[in-house]
Amino acid sequence: MLRTHTCGELSLEHVNQEVVLCGWVQRVRDKGGMIWLDLRDRYGITQLLFEEGKTQANVLEIARSLGREFVISAKGQVIERLSKNDKIATGDIEIRISELNILNPAKLPPFLIEDETDGGDDIRMKYRYLDLRRNNVRKNLQLRHQVARHTRAYLDELDFIEVETPVLIKSTPEGARDFVVPSRMNPGEFYALPQSPQTFKQLLMVAGFDRYYQIVKCFRDEDLRADRQPEFTQIDCEMSFVTQEDVLNTFEGLIRNLFSKVKGLDLPEVPRMTYADAMRLYGSDKPDIRFDMQFVELKGAAQDLTSGKGFSVFDDAELVVGICAPDSAVYTRKQLDELTEWLKRPQIGAKGLIYVRYNTDGSLKSSVDKFYAEEDIKKWAEAFNAKPGDLILIISGAADKARKQLNELRLEMGTRLGLRSSDEYSALWVLDFPLLEYGEAENRWFAMHHPFTSPKPEDIPLLDKNLGAVRANAYDMVINGVEVGGGSVRIFEKELQKQMFGILGFTEEEAQEQFGFLMNAFEFGAPPHAGIAFGFDRLCSIFGGADSIRDFIAFPKNNSGRDVMIDSPSVISDAQLKELAIKVE
């Protein structure tokens, strides 16, 4: 090795030893004939000392020629530091340098390589290799490695086998848009990159592999939002001869194990909620249950505390639903107006917001006092179980819309009230998703999870009568309001799978052409099986307490799907196109 130690390991026990360190120049202070140099590598920072009179002149000269991010090797003796630095692991010692070599000089970086950098997103993406030198970014990727490591250890222990499934597969019309790869050897034909290894993992169950997992790259050619990447990583799992309950237990175990191993946290047993309850109580299939503020319906299926008082907005509404924000009665009229405007933005699209301020003196003040007597408002406050100091916020309209809007408001109030700390964790299982959802635009039914999800056995008779009412044996794991994983018990019988494709609008021929290999496989002894997949980038970002997945990916792409560092995608040569028998339009 070019070094005897790393920059993170020397301490008082090494005093007097002669060592060689290699790394990057983080900082140089040159004062009163003394030079202190912070040398950095992945493992830490060690202080190098040069001293006029004691250090050889040529070494001093080299030391004075160094700039930030120069790569050097330095030999010297470990000595005890006079003024210790307890902020770093090596803060008790420094190295009195006798030999110094520049291994590679460095131009001035375009932004500061510090935890707090002055570089904007674009420049940091272009010089990603410099951004990755920053402690916090590198630590995210080290955390990612730890999450992967403990995931594998947990699953290996339970007899899961990691099996690599192919990346060059077949394009299928169901689901998101595929990335495709023209085949040179089969001109005019294309491979597709997998959106998930779904059918392959099911085939592995048919093959008797019993327990499969894979930490695997998946691909979706979708329009990108801040938090989506065209390629992403999944912890993909499948088990045979199990019920939904077994899958929930096994993977709740995984997540709790990861919290324990990676975060040192004891995650409590994960509560469960049906999709129906999640929508009713939170207006979302991924409720953030770090805080309460459950929805209360003033006018809904169970009661009507609003109608007939002449307030047409509520009278005409399908649903009147609200939340009770604790200790928020202090909100001024101006703040409430601002909140209303926030709700009216096109992204949310609420028509308005009704509030009831439960003042600390016990009085109630609402924005609809004109229509409702104090008696009425009191009943509302009781329905919300409100206490003096609380603020009740109410939205009305079509049920689905009102719930979605109120979900946004609830999350916003949770954030404002500091109830959504990124180092607190609440996990939740959401169960009993609908099997199907109706696409109004396309005028047909779509699989809510995917076409291989099994309906609940007791709901199978509804497949002939009431498709919207059929519940699936499907489940999502939600942490802090973010869906981190989801899965289902699968269909494993050919006839049911055929029926499912029929419901989704496939002709028998189309179903056979696209998924015949799977349905045929079901005829040769397919075991009951079920599985789950976790969004690995997302899971890592949650463990890292961050909102964006981008900083948990070594080389992410921007919102146009470009890697600006390597400048990809790019034009390819005519010769390549010709060989592939394709032409750019």
Site for a second copy in 456-495 (CB under 8 A): 492-493
Task: State in angstroms the smallest separation of the CB of 558 from a second copy.
Answer: 10
Measure the CA–CA gap between 93 and 105, rounded to whole angstroms: 26
Report if residue 109 touches a second copy, rule: CB under 8 A.
Answer: yes
Q: Please, which of residues 45-74 interact with a second copy by CB under 8 A?
A: 69-71, 73
Measure the CA–CA gap between 215 and 192, rounded to whole angstroms: 19
Task: State in angstroms the smallest separation of the CB of 429 from a second copy.
Answer: 18
Report if residue 43 touches a second copy, rule: CB under 8 A.
Answer: yes
Listed as own residue / partner, the contacts of 299-304 with beta carbons closer than 8 Å and 24 or more positions apart are 299/396, 300/399, 303/383
Cα-based distances in Å from 440 to 346, 349, 378: 21, 20, 41
Measure the CA–CA gap between 488 and 531, rounded to whole angstroms: 6
Report if residue 89 touches a second copy, rule: CB under 8 A.
Answer: no
Which is nearer to a second copy, 89 or 580 (by Cβ)? 580
Report if residue 82 touches a second copy, rule: CB under 8 A.
Answer: no
Of 388, 389, 505, 527, which one interacts with a second copy (CB under 8 A)? 527
| Cα atoms in the 13 Å half-sphere on the side-chain side of 551 | 20
Of 111, 209, 371, 446, which one interacts with a second copy (CB under 8 A)? 209
Report if residue 152 touches a second copy, rule: CB under 8 A.
Answer: yes
Report if residue 124 touches a second copy, rule: CB under 8 A.
Answer: no
Is-contact 492 485, C-beta < 8 A?
A: no
Which is nearer to a second copy, 116 or 585 (by Cβ)? 585
Which is nearer to a second copy, 351 or 562 (by Cβ)? 562
Which is nearer to a second copy, 33 or 439 (by Cβ)? 439
Measured over all CA atoms, what is the biggest interatomic distance in the chain, rounded to whole angstroms? 94
Closest C-alpha to 72, from 83, 62, 80: 62
Of 11, 27, 30, 241, which one interacts with a second copy (CB under 8 A)? 241
Cα-based distances in Å from 458 to 158, 455, 472: 31, 8, 10
Cα-based distances in Å from 56 to 100, 183, 232, 363, 546: 10, 64, 53, 81, 48
3-class DSSP assignment, residue 94? strand
Task: State in angstroms the smallest separation of the CB of 407 from a second copy.
Answer: 30
Measure the CA–CA gap between 122 and 376, rounded to whole angstroms: 55
Is-contact 480 414, C-beta < 8 A?
A: no
Which is nearer to a second copy, 277 or 493 (by Cβ)? 493
Q: Please, which of residues 246-285 interact with a second copy by CB under 8 A?
A: 246
221 is in an annotated binding site: yes
Report if residue 156 touches a second copy, rule: CB under 8 A.
Answer: yes
Q: How many residues bind a second copy, per CB under 8 A? A: 125
Give the range of 183-191, 438-446, 479-487, 501-509 binding a second copy by CB under 8 A. Answer: 183-191
Task: State in angstroms the smallest separation of the CB of 496 from a second copy.
Answer: 11
Give the range of 133-141, 281-289, 312-320, 496-504 binding a second copy by CB under 8 A. Answer: 133-141
Is-contact 321 279, C-beta < 8 A?
A: no
Task: State in angstroms the smallest separation of the CB of 246 from a second copy.
Answer: 5
Report if residue 171 touches a second copy, rule: CB under 8 A.
Answer: yes
Assigned token pair, 378: 């009191």
Give the range of 114-122, 256-264, 474-482, 547-555 binding a second copy by CB under 8 A. Answer: 547-555
Of 91, 182, 505, 545, which one interacts with a second copy (CB under 8 A)? 182
**H or E element in which residue 514 lies:** helix 508-522
Of 60, 93, 204, 255, which one interacts with a second copy (CB under 8 A)? 204
Measure the CA–CA gap between 300 and 313, rounded to whole angstroms: 14
Is-contact 150 259, C-beta < 8 A?
A: no
Closest C-alpha to 526, from 490, 557, 559: 490
Report if residue 154 touches a second copy, rule: CB under 8 A.
Answer: no
Report if residue 37 touches a second copy, rule: CB under 8 A.
Answer: no
Task: State in angstroms the smallest separation of the CB of 251 from a second copy.
Answer: 14
Give the range of 29-37, 322-330, 411-419, 574-582 binding a second copy by CB under 8 A. Answer: 574-582
Task: State in angstroms the smallest separation of the CB of 67 from a second copy.
Answer: 9
Give the range of 27-35, 56-64, 334-342, 522-530 binding a second copy by CB under 8 A. Answer: 522-530
Cis peptide before 569 (omega within 30 of 0): yes
